[in-house]
Structure 1
Amino acid sequence: MSSKLLAFSALVFSSILLSSGCAKHETETAQSEQPKDPNQLRIAVVANGTTGSLDFIGAPEIIAKDPIFLEELKKRHVKLTWEPVTTAAVATLVNENFLNNRIDFAFYGNLPSIFLNATGTKTQIIVPGGIGSNVYMVVPSQSKATSIEELKGKKIALHRGRPWEVNFAQLIQDKGLKLSDFQIINLNPQAGTAAIAANSVDAFFTLSDALILEDKKIGKIIWSSRNLPRDWKMRAELWGSKQYLNANPEVTQLLADATVRAYHWISEHQDEYQQSQTKFGQPLTVIQREQDNNSAWKNNWNPSYDIQILTAHYDRVIKHAIDHQLIQDPIQSSELLDPKFTQQAVKNLKLEDYWADQP
């Protein structure tokens, strides 16, 4: 692997500047030498093995047990392999697996996918991730700060290169601030939590773990996206290798159908689904509060492939990556979008009217 490609891997997960030109050539060469096997389907998924069995976070847990999906793959002699990744290193592992042709699809976030596409390894959004996840600004419980403006010049823990970095940038830009106005400490969520508990940072920008910190009276939330429009949420989608989906559209469609079918099931089984997610360590009350997105539960799982919303979102993500020198070569958001699989899945499942009344 070239030194520049190694630098890319470091950037995605340590925020080191990417030089993508050489990586493009090497990636394209590697892909041409390793054609996709039409009889396999490899999906990266965030997983947890602490319960004694391998459990998948979110909709993939439903997809993995979908009898229709499994039977259709069996009929076509397609071997399904789930590639588990940890929450602490989702971006690292998924992008490395895509780069090295070890996976065909992944459920993961927006900014790391931009890094990947900037190298020339092309992926597209097969099924959007619904309304998205909330982001939070939390400060130590004894802090007097009540707004992001009051944190100017202070230490803020933020895991660089992860999807919620874009939301942090969105927040400070909305307040007329910039990244250099703060002392950004690059910490993963686990380390950020510890830093808040030890009062070694003045704030922590993160996901729903902020709710746990608040419940334990270790921290207090001074800002969140919970009651804000969907363009303030952190997005994660089902991404697929463009090479694979072009070569295997039928199998790709089966996965799209299974994903939309999972969203539909979850939208009708709120209590059962939320209870199932407690196995990953978060209390039920935290899960319920996090998934209260100021809209109907049903809408949280709307797979609508809204080109306008997705284009605006990924234009902003790409601009952030370029402005902060996370990528050198710009890419077009239109290259990331392919709505046909989701649209066909909705038709196949006769769900055209199911989410029609949702915004």
Structure 2
Amino acid sequence: MRAQAPAKVIRIGSPDLGTAGKPSPGSSALAVAHANRWLEEEFAKDGITVDWKFFRGAGPAVAEALAAKQLDVVFLGDLASAIGRSRGLPTRYLLPTGRGSNSYLATAPGVKITSVAELKGRKVSVLKGTAYQRPFDNLLATAGLTEKDVKLINLDWPSSKAAVVAGEIDATFGGSDLFLLRDKGVTIPISTKGRGPDFTINAGVLATQDFITTQPQWAQRLVNQVVRGAHWASQKAHREAYIKLVVEHSGAPETGVRAEFEGETLASRFSPLIDEALVAGYQGVVNDGLKLGILRQGFDVNAWFEPRFVQQAVRDLKLERFWSPLDAQGKAKGAA
């Protein structure tokens, strides 16, 4: 019997960061490629299908699908990807798609919380195992609190939004999509903006070792298209078009997207370079994860990164001088 030819499909998994029934990888360089169907166009000429899978259960659900060998490539926030790697998922980190994202606390109608200290004893939802858990825990620590000092409820993002609007919980912690709830009486009194790298989130694209080994050319072509998206989103002239794209394709509230990027240079947000600052950021996530008991064991963060694909993409697209690599302190080191 002849062996069956392998399926010509790339299975991409992402937390569902969209709202209003619009599945989306959120506000990232990957979101640009997704909205413009650049990956589909790139691979269609060879009869290769791109199969997007969006998970309401976010990082933990993506990890389950990876463990079941149902995905080849994933888009994940820093903590979720680190948890998966620490548990033995054979992923390699290909490139960042967004750096330094902030988080927000939304309070139920009529609930007055103006400081982190006032969260003590309150019912607060956080989707555990996602990138938001680390900045939430670090925020609590600024007031001498831990998760044990609040009534922490583990809810997915759609459920937490419904619960805070209904007053079933006092507050929920998550992304800028929470601004969507302000017209329902929800307030957003606290954010992590301006608090430094311990309170921000990096996100990136990872692939399984098997995918990289068996389909390195596919991996390179995919990375090229994501870097193309990063380049487009990084340009000052595209700022308004980028905000419009995110709002249109994810259903995210424009006020939230604008608040997230206010005062930010999008070129620094969307630099796809694997530089010292990125590696230091993920090392910080692993260190905090171990300290907070979210990760049971560490791993070699530096060896996890697979920079050759993004380095080749930058050369292929002639973008060597577009982004500057950053040192571990976040200072520019010169052109890539």
Alpha-carbon distance in 2 for matches of 1:154, 1:72: 49
Partner of 2:194: 227
Partner of 2:139: 171
Deviations 1:256-286 (A, max 9, x none): 1111111111223222222222233233233
Q: Distance in 2 between matches of 1:355 and 1:90?
A: 30
Deviations 1:260-313 (A, max 9, x none): 111111223222222222233233233222232x32233222212123x23333
Decide which of 49, 53, 75 is 1:84's aligned counterpart.
53
Number of residue pairs matched by the alignment = 318
In the alignment, the residues of structure 1 paired with residue 23 and residue 287 of structure 2 have an alpha-carbon distance, to the nearest angstrom, of 37
Q: 1:60 to 1:177 in 2, by over 3 A?
A: same
Q: Given that residues 160 and 186 in structure 1 are in contact (C-alpha distance below 8 angstroms), is that contact kept between their aligned partners in structure 2?
A: yes
1:46-99: CA deviation from partner (whole Å, max 9, x where unpaired): 566977x97664444543577886666456x4623223214x222244222211
Give the aligned partner of residue 184 of structure 1: 152
**2:67 maps to what in 1?**
99
Distance 1:282 1:40, change over 3 A: closer
- Of 241, 255, 258, the residue aligned with 1:285 is 255
| Contact 1:44 1:105 (C-alpha < 8 Å) held by counterparts | yes
Aligned match of 1:200: 168
Which letter does structure 2 place at the counterpart of 1:303? P
Specify whether residues 222 and 283 from structure 1 end up closer, same or farther in structure 2 by C-alpha distance, changes over 3 A only.
closer
**What is the CA RMSD across the aligned residues, in angstroms?**
3.1
Alpha-carbon distance in structure 1 between the residues aligned to 2:146 and 2:19: 39
Structure 1: which amino acid aligns with 2:260? E
Are 2:244 and 1:275 aligned?
Answer: yes
Give the aligned partner of residue 93 of structure 2.
125
AA aligned to 2:207 is G
CA contact (8 A) 1:45 1:60 kept: no
Residue of structure 2 in register with 1:11 after alignment: none
> Cα distance, 1:175 vs. partner?
3.3
Looking at structure 1, the residues matched to 319 and 14 of structure 2 have their Cα atoms a distance apart, in angstroms, of 26
Q: Give the structure 1 partner of residue 222 of structure 2.
A: 255
* 1:354 Cα offset (Å): 1.5
Q: TM-score scaled to structure 1, two decimals? A: 0.77
Q: Percent identity?
A: 26
Q: Distance in 2 between matches of 1:56 and 1:105?
A: 13
Query: What is the alpha-carbon distance in structure 1 between the residues aligned to residue 114 and residue 195 of structure 2?
Result: 18
- Structure 2 distance, partners of 1:55, 1:149, is 34
Q: Which runs of 5+ in 1 are unaligned?
A: 1-35
Q: How does 1:311-322 map to 2 (within 5 A)?
A: 311-322=279-290
